[in-house]
Amino acid sequence: MENRIHLNKNLSLSRIIHGYWRLRDWNLSDQELLKLIEQVLELGITSFDHADIYGNYTCEEFFGRALALMPELREQMQLISKCGIRLSTDFNPELDVKIYEYSTEYIIKQAEASLKNLGTDRLDLLLLHRPAPFFNPEEVAKAFDHLKQSGKVVNFGVSNFTPMQFDSLQSYLDMPLATNQVELSVACLEHWENENIEFFQKHKIKPMAWSPLAGGKIFKPESQREYRLHSVLKEVAAELGVEAIDQVMYAWLLKHPVGILPIVGSQHIDRIKSAVDALKIDLSLQQWYKIWIASKGEDLP
């Protein structure tokens, strides 16, 4: 299986993406983080997923400090960020509750903050973090146009959008949205059920998958569904001759013809390598459906 996938003529991402949601919890020095970035690049992972809010607005700065130790690495990577969520924390003392904001000014402000914190002159991809009940697509279009024309952002997309939400925003834009980052795993079939997968295929959109290992809950099953999945994943792993069920979970996503790009959010290089090794695994159609049936808890109709 190819280690890269083209989202459009301007953007090619590694099939496995490294995510930095928990970077603040990793307690790495700048030098240790730089070493991890180098190891990830050596594995062929060139795409790095961030968001302005990660680590209460600190993770991008941590990454930028490490990258500043070897700035030439920037040309080997694609930097992805997200904006739109405003947390009710000490970073936003004026807020009593978390809100979503997609005004033109706020999107531009947050994109520029990400550029500063990451220590780069451009984002390869900027995503709107979540759909919002209060949303003006004209404001978003103005922000995207400004960021595109200024060269600060090369490509744009969304995260957690439904087909209608994606289509609605797309109708206001002059450039095609590059992707939709959604939760996909053997335990999260939501986007098969809400017709997002068919929407992606219709429009040739390659989705990014957050939480591709279902938050780790299948490794220590508690519910009947988790026990079913764990048992079948172990069975399929034995059939394939692989030791870890995480590789089967990644391979299940990678097998699908829609072209899913899993995000691996670990600091442990062996776990990251395990995801890359899943690119070599080719599940049979029967194995893929065994896992689907275990997740659904019923045979196909």
Does the pLDDT at position 79 exceed 90? yes
User: What does the pLDDT look like over 131-168, one tens digit per residue?
Assistant: 999 999 999 999 999 999 999 999 999 999 999 999 99
Report yes or no on 299 lying in a domain: no
Q: What's the Cα-to-Cα distance from 63 to each of 16, 31, 104, 149, rounded to whole Å? A: 19, 11, 26, 26
Domain limits for position 84: 4-183
- Is residue 216 assigned to a domain? no
Q: Cα separation of 144 and 295, whole Å? A: 39
Residue 107 lies in a domain: yes
> Could you tell me which residues are beta bridge partners of residue 14?
4
Q: For 17, phi and psi rounded to 5 degrees?
A: -115, 140
- Confidence band of 243 (pLDDT split at 50, 70, 90): confident
pLDDT tens per residue across span 209-238: 999 999 999 999 999 999 999 999 999 999
Task: Kindly report the average pLDDT of the chain as a whole number.
Answer: 97
Is 250 within a domain? no
Number of domains in the chain: 1
**CATH number for the domain harbouring residue 152:** 3.20.20.100
Band (pLDDT 50/70/90 cuts) for residue 1 is confident
Q: Catalytic residue positions? A: 54
Say whether 223 sits in a helix, a strand or coil: coil
Contacts of 276 (CB under 8 A, 6+ apart): 3, 16, 43, 44, 45
Specify if 286 maps to a domain.
Answer: no
270 falls within a domain: no
- Tokens 């009947």 correspond to 224
CB 78 within 8 A of CB 48: yes
Instruction: State the maximum Cα–Cα separation within the chain, in Å, rounded to a whole number.
Output: 56
Question: Residue 291's pLDDT band (boundaries 50, 70, 90)?
Answer: very high
**Is residue 119 assigned to a domain?**
yes
Residue 138 within any structural domain of the chain? yes
